[in-house]
Amino acid sequence: KDLFQSPDYFHVDGLLTEEHLMVRDAVRQWVKKEISPIIEDACQQATFPSHIIKGLGELGCFGPTIPQEYGGGGMDHISYGLMMQELERGDSGVRSTASVQGSLVMYPIFTFGSEEQKRKYLPKLASGEWMGCFGLTEPDFGSNPSGMITHFKDAGDHVVLNGAKMWISNAPFAQIAVVWAKDEEGVIRGLIVERGMEGFTTPETKGKWSLRASATGELVFDNVKVPKENILPNAKGLKGPLSCLSSARYGIAWGVTGAAMDCYDAALRYAKERIQFGKPIAGFQLTQKKLAEMVTEITKAQLMNWRLGVLKNEGKATPAQISMAKRNACEIATRIAREARQILGGMGITGEYPIMRHMMNLESVITYEGTHEIHLLITGLDITGLDAFH
Ligand code: FAD
């Protein structure tokens, strides 16, 4: 039951290059060897398996699209997507760790950072020697980050940062945090805050029923003195954090498709083997309806991801297209996980199979990086020109 087989109903593999297939298979093998055997236990215990960081770094899962001169993989966006697909087939928490490091920490430093910042941080983040987190969400500002309260004041060669962020992935163990905060004019800027700076703490968020193998926490800033050289010089306004989210959301579209594939694969195998009323339950029309619809939705998501990857490689993918792909993939993956769970009957709720874990994880993924509703409003705005957010 552990031997995952990737559904590929429309021969999407035929659209991939040798390099894409090599990257995908390397991550698939690694997940099979390093993640699948330990992930159930890590989730049951609600611990982040920190020993996997080294392997993720060696595989190139941290910043795969960042140029090699800064320690990144220098790969294209389809390779990046395939990596996320395979990681999330293992577990959404593992994929989240890689997404945050690559898209939300390395990407802003690469895109908005000074040359010194890039040289100082990127190679260490690419190898996993340092881990980072991304602080945008606040207790009172989730879907509406422009209202954020976290702010800083000029104090000569440094600034003084006050405020709090919550729901921050990787916060409890990260060495650095890319934090979005308002300057004295109310303009949103990005700052690199390092663990050990006085007044900076990262209390862990306990009691999650979702993403249990990913560490989540708060970032609390109590008069933290941040050197001015830690401010990202080229990010001003909400566009900065939003462009990071576009990169991460793209990876999520691929990632949750991987989780959906794993649920489908487990359900298909189980349905062919489980005998009730004298025949495999796969032979009942009601089960076939579930399985046929699952593979149809997976195929549609695969094609959408691939096309979006091509557009991203050409520099043409719009944030609204990425929103549509993230929203659709999360929707179909949550539905597929639920249907797969039903196909397994009672066994579906146990940790013998990955399905219930994926199902619970997906409840976070459908909410973070822009909720299901917010992505729909982004599509709505894009097609009508009318803002329904406010
Ligand atoms: P709210 O914004 O309070 O939304 C509540 C509900 O209201 C939602 O259904 C929402 O869709 C709906 N809603 C809000 N506004 C509208 C509107 N205009 N129209 C219609 N409906 C609306 N954040 C980070 O910055 N960094 C991280 O690393 C990070 N990791 C996370 C990890 C986990 C496990 C989780 C659960 C969250 C994480 N987040 C992170 C935060 C995440 O991005 C937010 O939870 C998300 O943006 C939603 O914000 P909220 O929870 O405050 O919900």
CA-wise closest residue to 36 among 8, 7, 61, 2: 2
* 131, 263, 167, 146: CA torsion to nearest 10: 100
Can you give the pLDDT at residue 2? 53
- Which of the listed residues 211, 242, 371 should we mutate to test ligand 1's pocket, taking the one with most ligand atoms within 8 A of CB? 371
Can you give the pLDDT at residue 6? 85
- The token duo for 282 is 């796969």
Q: At 218, is the secondary structure helix, strand, or coil? A: strand
Tell me the pTM: 0.97
Backbone angles phi, psi at 154, to 5 degrees: -70, 135
Closest C-alpha to ligand 1, atom 21: 373
Closest C-alpha to ligand 1, atom 39: 167
Can you give the pLDDT at residue 3? 56
- The token duo for 356 is 């219930």
Q: Angle at CA 195, nearest 5°, toward 191 and 197?
A: 75
Backbone angles phi, psi at 23, to 5 degrees: -60, -50
Q: Does the annotation count 184 as an active-site position? A: no
CB atoms within 10 A of CB 1: 11
How many whole angstroms from 371 Cα to the centroid of ligand 1?
Answer: 6
Residue with tokens 């990127």: 122
Tens-place pLDDT, residues 147-178: 999 999 999 999 999 999 999 999 999 999 99
Residue with tokens 């552990």: 2
β 275-276/279-280 pair status: antiparallel
Question: Does ligand 1 come within 6 angstroms of the Cβ of 308?
Answer: no
Residue with tokens 């805050």: 193
Can you give the pLDDT at residue 1? 45
Residue with tokens 């990262």: 202
- Determine the residue type at 194: E
What is the torsional sign of CA 276, 266, 216, 195?
Answer: positive
Question: Does ligand 1 come within 6 angstroms of the Cβ of 305?
Answer: no
Q: Angle at CA 47, nearest 5°, toward 150 and 120?
A: 50
CB atoms within 10 A of CB 367: 17
End-to-end CA, the chain = 48
Cα 115 to Cα 210: distance, rounded to the nearest angstrom: 38
Tens-place pLDDT, residues 299-350: 999 999 999 999 999 999 999 999 999 999 999 999 999 999 999 999 999 9
CB atoms within 10 A of CB 249: 25
- The token duo for 28 is 């698939």
Bridge partners (DSSP) of residue 169 are 216
Per-residue pLDDT of the chain (390 residues; tens, 9 = 90+): 455 778 999 999 999 999 999 999 999 999 999 999 999 999 999 999 999 999 999 999 999 999 999 999 999 999 999 999 999 999 999 999 999 999 999 999 999 999 999 999 999 999 999 999 999 999 999 999 999 999 999 999 999 999 999 999 999 999 999 999 999 999 999 999 999 999 999 999 999 999 999 999 999 999 999 999 999 999 999 999 999 999 999 999 999 999 999 999 999 999 999 999 999 999 999 999 999 999 999 999 999 999 999 999 999 999 999 999 999 999 999 999 999 999 999 999 999 999 999 999 999 999 999 999 999 999 999 999 999 999
Find out whether 38 and 49 touch, Cβ atoms under 8 Å.
yes
How many whole angstroms from 182 Cα to the centroid of ligand 1?
Answer: 20
Cα 232 to Cα 43: distance, rounded to the nearest angstrom: 35
Number of the ligand 1 atom closest to the C-alpha atom of 241: 25
Catalytic residue among 34, 218, 331, 369: 369
Cα 132 to Cα 175: distance, rounded to the nearest angstrom: 6
Q: Alpha-carbon Rg of the chain, whole angstroms? A: 21
Measuring CA to CA, how many Å separate 389 from each of 144, 242, 326, 375?
A: 9, 16, 19, 11
Cα 205 to Cα 190: distance, rounded to the nearest angstrom: 23
